[in-house]
Amino acid sequence: MFHIGHLNILRNASLHCDQLIAGVLTDEMAERAKGQRPIIPFIERVELVRSVRYVEQAIAEDVPDKIAIWERIGFDVIIKGDDWRGTAKGDKLERDFAAVGVDVVYLPYTAHTSSTILRQVLDHRLAL
Q: 110 and 11 in contact (C-beta within 8 Å)?
A: no
> Mean of the pLDDT values across residues 71-100?
95
Residue 34 corresponds to which amino acid? K
Interval 18-59: pLDDT, tens: 999 999 999 999 999 888 899 899 999 999 999 999 999 999
CATH of 4-127, one of 3.40.50.620, 3.30.420.40, 3.40.50.10800, 3.40.50.300: 3.40.50.620
**What gap in Å lies between CA 9 and CA 7, rounded to an integer?**
5
Chain mean pLDDT for the chain: 90
**What gap in Å lies between CA 31 and CA 25, rounded to an integer?**
9
The DSSP code for 16 is T
Quickly state the pLDDT bin for 68 (edges 50, 70, 90).
very high
